[in-house]
A = this chain, B = another copy of it.
């Protein structure tokens, strides 16, 4: 038996013993399901969620490739593949959702000092600290680098004042990684630093944002004379923009999958435009009865199929993702908006249900989902920004 086979056997055994029944496929549907984000104030409706997180966190398997010295699993790529396969076999739930894992950890690994890595990575991996992201500001919009939240060097600490917006789950997070202006006299991209801030520090407050679709995970976060130790600076002073750009690219790719993922998840669930149209507009010989809707839906489904093939092609080609990330962000979110418009239109007045017993839950969810899609083409870089990026960086069109 080679090492990898051995690892597979050990993993299988470990999962068998350690993955609680309700964390596997075929779990009792009456047991409540947690969305596990970890953190100081995490609450669990199902105690096994916590057990599963702790056991996986202890082994470092929430970030299996990170070296053991930082609390990770220290596994090779091949071993990670085996781990994923064995988790898939038993339908094991992912133990932890985390901006710390998705966004901050890669930054720490690349730019953090030894001390910073040892301090923060284990807590991310174990889900002890929940992170949120502080980039946008009320005045900045697409021009992220125009941010005004300032961090003044007062000797031992930075004194932070300003306001962030669109900080997802800031009201539930323990720490925030933020872009702040440390060089007010430098050209705007050259005066930004990447700073970690404990949200329990005096002077940090948050306020949730209600969207047109209703409540949202987004918050406004305010900094009022917040003192931050200088050791919390990641990377060089005034070199935060480089880090930010990397993270943004990552985020863009992440959002671009929304459109298709939604369409795939929707198919067969009744939450797809064809099923809705057949149900609400009628069906004749297997066809959507109203030909005016049918023709628009057909064009839309064709675009969806073509977009799906494009995502697949990009995957099969490998590696070129960054050149086309803007296209995927643009197309994915615009397509998703259109998809929801069609579902709403095909649903008639029921597609505009807001609340109350007279409406079906699916319809009410659809209304809110439709409204929520309007933000997708704004957050993570607007569609206009993506078009600018494509025309300049991909097509090489000149600047005026």
**A interface residues (Cβ-Cβ under 8 A, vs B):** 291-292, 294-296, 298, 400
Residues of B contacting A294 in the complex (Cβ-Cβ under 8 angstroms): 291
Could you list some 9 contacts between A and B, CB below 8 A?
Answer: A291-B291, A291-B292, A291-B294, A291-B295, A292-B295, A292-B298, A295-B295, A295-B296, A400-B400
| Chain B residue at smallest Cβ distance from A400 | B400
Report the nearest B residue to A292, measured CB to CB. Answer: B295
Min CB–CB distance A282 → chain B (angstroms): 15
Instruction: Report B-chain residues with C-beta under 8 Å of the C-beta of A298.
Output: 292
Q: Which of A294, A295, A296 has the most CB of B within 10 A?
A: A295
- Closest B residue to A294 using CB positions: B291
Hey, which chain B residues are within 8 Å of A295, CB to CB? 291-292, 295-296
Query: What residues of B have a CB within 8 angstroms of the CB of A296 in the complex?
Result: 295
Q: In the bound complex, what is the Cα–Cα distance between A294 and B296 (angstroms)?
A: 12
Query: How far is B292's CA from A296's CA once the two chains are assembled, in angstroms?
Result: 9
Cα of A379 to Cα of B182 in the assembled complex, Å = 54
Q: How far is the CB of A178 from chain B (nearest CB, A)?
A: 32
Residues of B within 8 A of A400 (CB): 400
In whole angstroms, what is the CA distance A298 to B298 when docked? 18
Tell me, in angstroms, the Cα distance from A291 to B296 when the chains sit together: 11
* Minimal Cβ-Cβ distance residue in B for A299: B292
A294 to B294, CA, bound (A): 12
* A292 partner residues in chain B, CB cutoff 8 A: 291, 295, 298
Contacts of A291 in B (CB 8 A): 291-292, 294-295
A295 to B298, CA, bound (A): 13
Q: Which 5 A-B pairs have the closest CB atoms?
A: A291-B291, A292-B295, A295-B295, A291-B295, A291-B294
User: What residue of chain B has the Cβ atom nearest to residue A293's Cβ?
Assistant: B295
A296–B291 alpha-carbon span in the complex (Å) = 11
State the Cβ distance, A116 to closest chain B Cβ, in Å: 43
Distance in angstroms between the alpha carbons of A93 and B298 in the assembled complex: 51
A295 to B295: give the CA distance in the assembly, Å.
8
The answer for the CA separation of A292 and B296 in the assembled complex, in Å, is 9
- In the assembled complex, the Cα of A80 lies from the Cα of B295 at a distance in Å of 53
> How far does the alpha carbon of A29 sit from the alpha carbon of B356 in the complex, in Å?
74
- C-alpha spacing A22/B323, complex, angstroms: 69
What separation, in Å, do the CA atoms of A49 and B197 have in the docked complex? 90
CA distance A86 to B76 in the complex (A): 96
Query: A179: shortest Cβ distance to chain B, in Å?
Result: 27
> Quick one: closest B residue to A298, CB to CB?
B292
**Interchain nearest-CB distance for A129 vs B (Å):** 45
User: Shortest distance in angstroms between A143's beta carbon and chain B's nearest beta carbon?
Assistant: 15
**Bound Cα distance from A256 to B46, whole angstroms:** 70
Sample of 6 more A-B contacts, CB < 8 Å, known A291-B294, A292-B295, A292-B298: A291-B291, A291-B292, A291-B295, A295-B295, A295-B296, A400-B400
Closest Cβ–Cβ distance, residue A155 to chain B (whole Å): 43
In angstroms, Cα B294 to Cα A31, docked, is 53
Per the bound structure, the CA–CA distance linking A13 and B119 in Å amounts to 107
Minimum distance in angstroms from A75 CB to a CB of chain B: 53
- A151 CB to nearest B CB, Å: 32
Taking the nearest CB of chain B, how far is it from the CB of A315, in angstroms?
A: 33
Bound together, the chains give a CA A400 to CA B291 distance in angstroms of 46
Cα separation A291 to B284 with both chains bound (whole Å): 14
CA distance A376 to B159 in the complex (A): 63
Tell me the minimal C-beta distance from A384 to chain B in angstroms.
Answer: 15
A291–B292 Cα gap in the complex (Å)? 7
Taken together as a complex, chains A and B put the C-alpha atoms of A294 and B295 apart, in Å, by 10
Complex Cα distance, B295 from A325, in Å, reads 35
Q: Which of A292, A298, A400 has the most CB of B within 10 A?
A: A292
